[in-house]
Structure 1
Amino acid sequence: MVVKQLSIIKSGVFAKSQANPNLFYIQASDFDDERNWKKNLKPSLVLNPSLQKHVLNNGDILFVAKGRMFFAVVYKGEYSPAVASGTFLIIKTDHQRLIPEFLAWYLNHPKTIIFLDQLSKGSSMPMISKSVLEEIEITLPTITQQEKITELSALQQKEQQLLTRIQFLHNDYVNELTYKIFQQ
């Protein structure tokens, strides 16, 4: 099965900042290296009829299709209302057959990223086109299996965050200890 059989993909919008904003304009730079939202984002657009049809819904997948690092994030209303910039392809899945978290996991999987890198166009600004993303082959496990895979992946990410924190604290401890020894 290919992605377009399980979802609808549309492009993000191009817009410029406006006075008296009430709409978040999501960009790839709004995420850190671990694909987490950065804090304290501010609205930069004004919601109007032409942007209304582009407002993100919970469960939409934001796929960064332009730049040096392709990745997918499930939008859960963290900043709302919001539209995605033209850097993104927005994927709306058929939730009865494909949960958004599973497709995001699949698109973020290292093997898929390698494959996408091979299909990308452009050298200074690599990009994945909508048509390329639509034709990505995906094996469709049951919803229960999709949920188990995404739960395991979330636990793996949490573990990695904790290990990183432990390493930071350990380094801090050793630095303090060695400095105290040095001062004696």
Structure 2
Amino acid sequence: MFYIRLMLTVIELQSFVEMILKLKDVATVSSGVTFRSRIEASKDGSVRVIQMKDLGDDNFVHLSESIHIDHTKPKSNQLAKLGDIIFRSRGQTNTAALLNEDVESTIVAAPLFRVRPDVKKVVPEFLLWWINQPSSQSYLASRSKGTMVKMVSKQGLEDLEVNLPSLGQQKKVAEFFSLSMREQQLLEEIKNRKAIYTQGILMQMASESRQTASNKKPGFDAVTSTPGQTQSRARN
């Protein structure tokens, strides 16, 4: 239901577009921090690093398993903050995820890009939706380069055209988008719980089947004979 309503909102959006701008006109794109060697986690590290693995399929950045490292104090222009959009510049898909919680001393690792929306022009959730929607993904795919691994350049992302309605209309689209994502998340949780429940039933059935089979010992009567009965049968 939410998905259908979201599609209707997308169609209606065309009639509310006030201007068409490039992404660089409504947000600042920054390349992630490049590390010369493998990123090593440190128990006492003071700097958190957002990596590709921290971007969820639900379009949010998940920090629960992100790592901390020993690192010199990051420059202010390297720090991530609430409302930033983290973009996958490399790989099969070039989607993005929203950083929707407050963070301290947090940086973004290359090949990710940090997109910081100008909230006076664009709602972060709307821009996230716009980057991830099919027409934008088609454009980004056309701008990706590389033989073995495709990668979208910073300029390629900055040149993405964004159809901008009013801020009020952007908020409506963002709300529908959030509801749709929440619906998909709940459906996925139901699916996973059902799979676990079904697996539990099957395991119980298999266990009961093995127990029944072990109780049926071949070569013996179901009724246990006493020692006297056994000797009597032997003399006969």
Q: State whether TM-score is above 0.5.
A: yes
Bigger Cα Rg? 2
Q: How does 1:55-70 map to 2 (within 5 A)?
A: 55-70=79-94
Q: Secondary structure at the match of 1:125?
A: coil
Q: Secondary structure at the match of 1:67?
A: coil
- Within 2, Cα distance between the matches of 1:21 and 1:170? 39
**Distance in 2 separating the partners of 1:38 and 1:125:** 26
Give the distance between the partners of 1:80 and 1:108, measured in 2 at CA.
27
SS at structure 2 position matched to 1:66:
coil
**Contact 2:50–2:63 (CA under 8 A) maintained in structure 1:** no
Paired letter, 1:43: H
SS at match of 1:89: strand
Q: Distance in 2 between matches of 1:178 and 1:10?
A: 51
Selected match of 1:42 from 67, 73, 76: 67
Asked if the contact 1:7/1:93 (under 8 Å) is kept, the reply is: yes
Gaps of 5+ in 2: 1-20, 210-236
Supply the distance in 1 between the matched residues of 2:183 and 2:91 (Cα, whole angstroms): 28
The aligned runs of 1:154-173 (5 Å cut-off) are 154-173=178-197
Deviation (angstroms), 1:97: 1.2
- 1:96 counterpart residue number: 120
Instruction: Give the whole-Å Cα distance in 2 for the aligned partners of 1:21 and 1:181.
Output: 49
TM-score norm. by structure 2 comes to 0.68
Name the structure 2 match of 1:121.
145
Q: CA deviation at 1:18?
A: 7.9
Q: Could you tell me which amino acid in structure 1 is paired with residue 153 of structure 2?
A: S
Instruction: For residue 31 of structure 1, report the CA deviation from its aligned partner.
Output: 2.5
Quick check: 1:13–1:84 contact (8 Å CA) kept in 2?
yes
After TM superposition, where is structure 1 displaced by more than 6 Å over at least 4 residues in a row?
none
**Contact kept in structure 2, 1:24 and 1:45, CA below 8 Å:** no
CA shift, 1:180, in A, is 5.7
Residue pairs, 1:166-181, within 5 angstroms:
166-177=190-201
Distance in 2 of aligned mates of 1:162 and 1:7: 31
Contact 1:62 1:72 in 2 (8 A): yes
1:145-160 to 2 correspondences below 5 Å: 145-160=169-184
Identity %: 25
Contact preservation (8 Å) 2:55, 2:97: no
Partner of 1:3: 23
Q: How far did residue 137 of structure 1 move?
A: 1.0
CA distance in 2: counterparts of 1:25 and 1:166, whole angstroms:
31
Give the distance between the partners of 1:167 and 1:137, measured in 2 at CA. Answer: 37
> Residue 135 of structure 1: CA displacement?
1.1
Q: Which AA in structure 2 matches 1:23?
A: V
Q: Where does structure 1 lack aligned partners over 5 or more consecutive residues?
A: none
Give the distance between the partners of 1:21 and 1:176, measured in 2 at CA: 41
The one-letter amino acid of 1:69's match is T
3-state DSSP of counterpart to 1:104: helix
Name the Cα RMSD after superposition.
2.4
